[in-house]
Amino acid sequence: MIIPTPVHLAAGTGRLTLDPRTTLSADAAAEGAARLLRTLLAPATGLPFVPAVEGTVDLAVDPALSPDCGEEGYRLTVTPERAVLRAARPAGLLNAVQTLRQLLPAEALADRPVTGTAWTLPCVTITDRPRYPWRGLMVDTARHFQPLAHLLRTVDRMALHRLNVLHLHLTDDQGWRMPVDAYPLLTEVGSVRARSMIGHAGSTRYDDTPHGGAYTKDELRTLVRYAADRGVTVMPEIEMPGHARAALAAYPHLGNRPEQRLDVWTEWGVCPTVLGVHDAVLDFCRTVLDEVMEIFPSPYVHLGGDECPTEEWESGPAALARTAELGLPAPKALHGWFLRQVGAHLLAAGRRPVVWAEDSTSTLPPEFTVMPWRDGDHGLAAARAGHDVVMTPHRSTYLDYPQSDRADEPLGQAGAVVDLHTVHANEPGPGHWTDAERAHVLGTQAQLWSEFVATPDQFDYLAFPRLLALADRAWNPASDWTTDFLPTLRSHAPRLAALGIHRTVLL
């Protein structure tokens, strides 16, 4: 009863008891996983896992397991005498540690001392590996700031469910959250908006409460390190050329009408003001991304690219001049040109640009990785054009939509219900794609846009249990909704409670 459902699990007989005398051994390559095991089990169990040459709990990296385990798989064998964790790579051992945590009584997940519980593991043999290398969660820190402590807790919960990419949406019209030394006003001005819209985009009501927040670079480094220790990569996103109003409020010269003073946007929806296309803007983007790359070692860096209205380019003298100079058919084509320029900067630095796609008309080179967010078949078009894709269709991966149509469901994004079954049914490699097209699918991820997510409790309510359905689907293609996922989810409820997640819609 583990989430995500392991690919091969054979139950044995008997149990192994962990107690204060339980010893632990780890080879050099397994030290990170051993440290993680001690760190994660200490708060609830207080168990020291005394170092030994041949421990009761034994962790080792064995490259010979590569054919079975790949980069992130593992083998976990529990007998009445020992728990043996093996993987071909250290990342696999981190996953084995998380599975071991789920085999223990649920109270083991608590963050405070638990007494009176026997820390026993059922005897079992698990051989497990993920279907996809990209199993993500996007967190929108712009619409509502998500404090570091909440992000760290979220990383813990992702790692427990063997999700491995935290996509951090750091900038948008309503706030800029990442400090940039070369452009200090991005956070001094761009991180605070005067008020927020109440209700959906187009509403005329506001709360008249300023909202703001920005990370320090030290906090972001802490997050990156903390996540890496848990096998999670933090991928930053800096939105361009649209969704950039907060940057324009800080630096009007980056806009299409430099004389215009703009506020950090207080509305929801698609903002008509976008970045200009003059040289100073490209310099700005490259400089910002250089500082981003200093903090985030992620091989992928997201450039946004979605929802960029082109009216300002169609009427702006600088954009019209740029269109003519480049010989482009129309100002709309500046969008692809812009992303190609900035993407080339990332590629030259050895990183891979990622963009959202909302149609099938990309003119970007195949080195760009694409997240189709409207229609899954936009991913098909991208795969045919040679792009790798991470499947993010809104009707099955957007957790900001309500999870039911019940009257007491909190306000969510309008237009759809994304229920638990729909998330679990999300097929990242659809059957009507060819094998070659499916080979471009890196994986899938959930999106938690935060227009209506002002508190950690609201975040958790939207994330759980739907994030678990996505984790299950991304890990194990054979996991069946009725016979695997649902029964496991029911038995998972005490674990969620031990993590402090109480208000969930469980079936």
Name the residues annotated as catalytic: 172, 243, 307
Work out how close the CB of 463 gets to ligand ACM at its nearest, in angstroms, rounded to a whole number: 17
Work out how close the CB of 357 gets to ligand ACM at its nearest, in angstroms, rounded to a whole number: 9
Closest CA to 153 of 442, 455, 403: 455
The Cα 240–Cα 273 span in angstroms is 11
Work out how close the CB of 73 gets to ligand ACM at its nearest, in angstroms, rounded to a whole number: 31
- Which CB atom, from 62 or from 307, has the smaller least distance to ligand ACM? 307
- Which CB atom, from 32 or from 393, has the smaller least distance to ligand ACM? 393
Q: Name the phi and psi angles at 300, rounded to 5.
A: -110, 140
- Which CB atom, from 62 or from 306, has the smaller least distance to ligand ACM? 306
Identify how many contiguous H helices and E strands the chain contains and give both numbers. 18, 21
Q: Which two tokens stand for residue 133?
A: 């290398």
- Which CB atom, from 7 or from 448, has the smaller least distance to ligand ACM? 448
User: Does position 427 bind ligand ACM by CB under 6 A?
Assistant: no
Can you state the angle between helices 31-45 and 217-229, rounded to 10 degrees?
100
* Residue number, nearest CB to ligand ACM: 306
**Residues in Cβ contact with 18 at an 8 Å cutoff, skipping those fewer than 6 apart:** 45, 47, 56, 57, 104, 119, 120, 121
Say which amino acid occupies 36: L
* Residue carrying the six token digits 């900035």: 342
Select from 215, 356, 368, 461 the one that contacts ligand ACM (CB under 6 A): 356
Work out how close the CB of 307 gets to ligand ACM at its nearest, in angstroms, rounded to a whole number: 5
Work out how close the CB of 167 gets to ligand ACM at its nearest, in angstroms, rounded to a whole number: 11
In this structure, the number of other CB atoms found within 10 A of the CB of residue 296 comes to 22
Select from 313, 373, 459, 461 the one that contacts ligand ACM (CB under 6 A): 373
DSSP three-state, residue 32:
helix
- Which CB atom, from 219 or from 307, has the smaller least distance to ligand ACM? 307
The Cα 452–Cα 455 span in angstroms is 9
- Which CB atom, from 169 or from 495, has the smaller least distance to ligand ACM? 169
Q: Name the phi and psi angles at 246, rounded to 5.
A: -65, -40
The Cα 371–Cα 374 span in angstroms is 9
DSSP three-state, residue 94:
helix
Give me the 437-466 binding string for ligand ACM, x by CB under 6 A, dash otherwise. ------------------------------
Task: Provide the sign of the torsion angle of the four alpha carbons 277, 283, 284, 288, taken in this order.
Answer: positive
List the interface residues with ligand ACM, window 304-333 (CB under 6 A): 306-307
Q: Are 380 and 437 in contact (CB under 8 A)?
A: yes
List the interface residues with ligand ACM, window 77-116 (CB under 6 A): none
Interface with ligand ACM: number of residues (CB under 6 A): 4
- Which CB atom, from 373 or from 401, has the smaller least distance to ligand ACM? 373
Work out how close the CB of 345 gets to ligand ACM at its nearest, in angstroms, rounded to a whole number: 22
Closest CA to 56 of 135, 119, 148: 119
Work out how close the CB of 451 gets to ligand ACM at its nearest, in angstroms, rounded to a whole number: 11
Q: Are 5 and 477 in contact (CB under 8 A)?
A: no
Would you tell me which residues interact with ligand ACM (CB under 6 A)?
Answer: 306-307, 356, 373
